[in-house]
Structure 1
């Protein structure tokens, strides 16, 4: 028979109210008493039924997700997955609010973070942009015991709790290995396209990519990054200009969004069909580019897994329970024309 809180109270020689305060980490309990209760819990093998406790207290997990607005297809997939989770939120006593801010706008993101009331919101998931204002806003939430998860793009120098997303250095290294093997021994230059170097995921992908190219493919040279702002029109102009001024380009790596603009630029000249192209995120446009042979590979991450993982991690941190690392690990997926789902 499973031990109960009554058993813990009896074994520790304290009241049920004291056990409840210790379990919920509330103040007002002497350290010696906390130690006695924790020893009794360990000795009895007591495991708290969080779901039953939350139901009894009518507890609601009030969470806020902050994601970039705009045409980025992956961010719109995240938004769609959040809507699906919200449809089932009543079943797991979760109330989710989605805030959208302009992409790469640190000031707007900081304002959204500052608007969060720590008295009513207990968890935040945010696609982070690195800036001093964002850092201070995250620090404020940390001080006020609001649990924070960074989503897709990490902010390790800031005050946050967990990161949910792929290992972006590894993603960049994977792209470089694919690029080097597809290009072969041909010498040439590689065009690098990012949304912005203000977001950690693009910085890390570039770092991983250049590490592998420099170390393993001396016949290839990485050009300076051009920024497409994750916008189709901006990416089209930036890529077209780069291809025009650099005739020795043999490959192109797009580490952000804006694939529609990339496709338009590459489709403008038949000669570009010889380029090796690696991009990120499987969308209708990148899927079509793979099928048409315009893209050679697409590196993907599961938006639905990331949203569900962020919710589970925030709930676990709020409850003070363990996170199952294997369940929350986001895989790097590689798609070629031959294995499209």
Structure 2
């Protein structure tokens, strides 16, 4: 039989009420008593039934996902996955609210964080912008005891509780290795397009990309990063101007979104068919570009895994249970035309 709270109380020589205080980390218990209870828990292999305990206490969780608005297809998928994960988690008394915020706008994100009712919100998941306003807003949330996890783009120097997303430096290094190998020894320049260098994921991808190009493919030169604001029209416009001005471009790395703009430019000029192109996220447009040979590879991350992981991590932080790092690791996925799911 599984050990019970009563077994823990008897083994520790304390009352049931004392065990309850220790398990729920409430004040009023001496350190020596806490140590006896925790030793009894470890010795007996006692595992709390958190679902039953939360049901008995009528505990519920209200998590808010702050996700950039706009046409970014991956962000819309992340938004939908958060909503669907919330529906599945409703049996565990989890409620999910998805709130849009303007992309790349630290002040707007900070206002959204400050507007949260800390008496009603249990935890927050956000796609972070690296700005002083966001840092200060996250500090205020931390002081209020509200855990916050970052999605897709991290801000490790800020008061966030956990990061959910791929290793973006490794993603950039992967993109450089793919372009360098696919270029087959040709000399030339690489065009780089980011959404904005104000978000850490794009900065880290550029950093990883540069590391590999400089060390392993010195015959390739990286052009300055263009910013497309993750918008298809803007991305297409800046890319078209770059390719018209730079005849030596042999490769293209789209660090952020805006794939539709890239596809439009590449489709209009047959001369661009020889470009080696690596982009991010397996959206319907990227999938089509792979099939048609416009893209050589797409680096992807699982939006559904990220949404579910954020919910699990926020619950674990609130319940005081360990985060299973292996379960929450978000993998870098590489897709070619030949392995499309």
Q: Which residue of 1 aligns with 2:287?
A: 287
| Alignment of structure 1 residues 50-61 onto 2, 5 Å | 50-61=50-61
Q: Which residue of 2 aligns with 1:23?
A: 23
Q: Which residue of 2 aligns with 1:6?
A: 6
Q: How much does 1:297 deviate?
A: 0.5
Q: How much does 1:11 deviate?
A: 2.1
| Alignment of structure 1 residues 221-240 onto 2, 5 Å | 221-240=221-240
CA-to-partner distance for each residue in 1:194-248, whole Å, 9 max, x for gaps? 0001111101100001100000001101111000000011101111111111111
SS in 1 for 2:204: helix
Whole-Å Cα distance in 2 between the matches of residues 264 and 8 of structure 1? Answer: 66
Q: How much does 1:33 deviate?
A: 1.9
Q: Which residue of 2 aligns with 1:85?
A: 85
CA-to-partner distance for each residue in 1:61-99, whole Å, 9 max, x for gaps? 111111000000000001111221232232121011111
SS in 1 for 2:279: strand
Whole-Å Cα distance in 2 between the matches of residues 103 and 269 of structure 1? Answer: 31
CA-to-partner distance for each residue in 1:96-141, whole Å, 9 max, x for gaps? 1111100000011001111122222121111000000000111111
SS in 1 for 2:10: helix
Check conservation: 2:130, 2:199, Cα contact below 8 A: yes
Q: Which residue of 2 aligns with 1:257?
A: 257
Q: Give the RMSD, CA atoms, in angstroms.
A: 1.0
SS in 1 for 2:97: strand
Q: How much does 1:312 deviate?
A: 0.8
Q: Which residue of 1 aligns with 2:33?
A: 33
Q: Which residue of 2 aligns with 1:141?
A: 141
Whole-Å Cα distance in 1 between the matches of residues 141 and 16 of structure 2? Answer: 32
Whole-Å Cα distance in 2 between the matches of residues 87 and 119 of structure 1? Answer: 23
SS in 2 for 1:88: helix
TM-score computed with the length of structure 1 as normaliser: 0.98
Q: Which residue of 1 aligns with 2:329?
A: 329
Whole-Å Cα distance in 2 between the matches of residues 304 and 67 of structure 1? Answer: 14
Whole-Å Cα distance in 2 between the matches of residues 243 and 105 of structure 1? Answer: 29
Q: How much does 1:40 deviate?
A: 1.8
Whole-Å Cα distance in 1 between the matches of residues 195 and 89 of structure 2? Answer: 33
SS in 2 for 1:2: coil
Whole-Å Cα distance in 2 between the matches of residues 39 and 192 of structure 1? Answer: 56
Check conservation: 2:83, 2:96, Cα contact below 8 A: no
| Alignment of structure 1 residues 158-177 onto 2, 5 Å | 158-177=158-177
Whole-Å Cα distance in 2 between the matches of residues 326 and 165 of structure 1? Answer: 13
Whole-Å Cα distance in 1 between the matches of residues 132 and 31 of structure 2? Answer: 38
Gaps of 5+ in 1: none
